[in-house]
Structure 1
Amino acid sequence: MKIAAITGISPNVLSELKKGKPRTIELQSAHNIITLTDVLPGDHIFMTEVDLDDLYPGDHGIIVDVMCITINMKRMVEYINPYYYEERERMSVRLKVKYVDKTIARNIDGKEWAKPTQVEIVKSSVFHAG
């Protein structure tokens, strides 16, 4: 099964998700935003603390279920009168997810720039009730 992969997530966030309650996280890294452009509510995502450059088969992570996803563009304008004016844009993704299971990455696709990152995951042989 191939699913989108989100990399470089804090171990604290991953441990919080493992407690089972839905959580909303905000992502700003370009490679994660590119990966999430085709993700819809109901899809599964592989999340890991490993950075994209260091992601290889055998790395551990978790599977989460996407409950809600919103991609935003924020514009910020800075003025220092009378000569300085700067406008910046920042894109971010707000993602509400719920923990499903832990897993291991088998094959990785899309580690190149501007390509969505996908991993083939090892299917779990242990199932949890609830």
Structure 2
Amino acid sequence: MEMVVLVGISRRALDSLIHSPRKTLELRSARNIEALSHVKTGDRVFLTYDTFHDVTKGTGGIIAEVLHVESMEQRLPWEESDEREVMVCRVQLRLRGLGKVVELERKDGVIRALVREMLPHEMAMG
């Protein structure tokens, strides 16, 4: 199945999604915000710990269904940054399984990948 890839997701967030099958993540990366602009409710996305340039055939990650996406600006304390606002996307996800990238295309800073869902016996082998 082809899906948009969300990259550089922390291990803590990935583990949390596995242990709590419905989870809201707050993403700030410009790449992930752009990627989320290409999805709608009901689409599936692929989340991986790997960075944009490290995603290749064979990259593993989590397959999740998008339940809700919300974009917003957050104000920053002036002492912490040269900017006063940062764009944030909150995405509510439902765990659908684990997968591996079979093919991928990078276009305009977004990765679209053909992902094969792993079968239960493959997950047990790691």
Q: TM-score, normalising length from structure 1?
A: 0.80
Alpha-carbon distance, 1:87 to partner: 5.6
Match of 1:18, SS state, is helix
Match of 1:82 in 2: none
Q: Percent identity?
A: 26
Question: Gapped runs of 5+ residues in structure 1?
Answer: 80-85
Match of 1:117 in 2: 111
- Tell me how many residue pairs correspond in the alignment: 119
Match of 2:28 in 1: 28
Match of 1:35, SS state, is helix
Contact 1:8 1:48 in 2 (8 A): yes
Aligned partner of 1:103 among 99, 104, 115: 99
Structure having the higher Rg: 1
Contact 1:68 1:96 in 2 (8 A): yes
Whole-angstrom CA distance in 2 between matches of 1:48 and 1:116: 13
Specify whether residues 88 and 61 from structure 1 end up closer, same or farther in structure 2 by C-alpha distance, changes over 3 A only.
same
Contact 1:73 1:90 in 2 (8 A): yes
Greater fraction helix: 2
Q: Which amino acid aligns with 1:35?
A: A
Taking the TM superposition and a 5 Å limit, the aligned residue runs for 1:6-21 are 6-21=6-21
Alpha-carbon distance, 1:5 to partner: 0.3
Contact 2:27 2:33 in 1 (8 A): yes
Match of 1:9, SS state, is coil
Q: TM-score, normalising length from structure 2?
A: 0.83
Whole-angstrom CA distance in 2 between matches of 1:87 and 1:13: 26
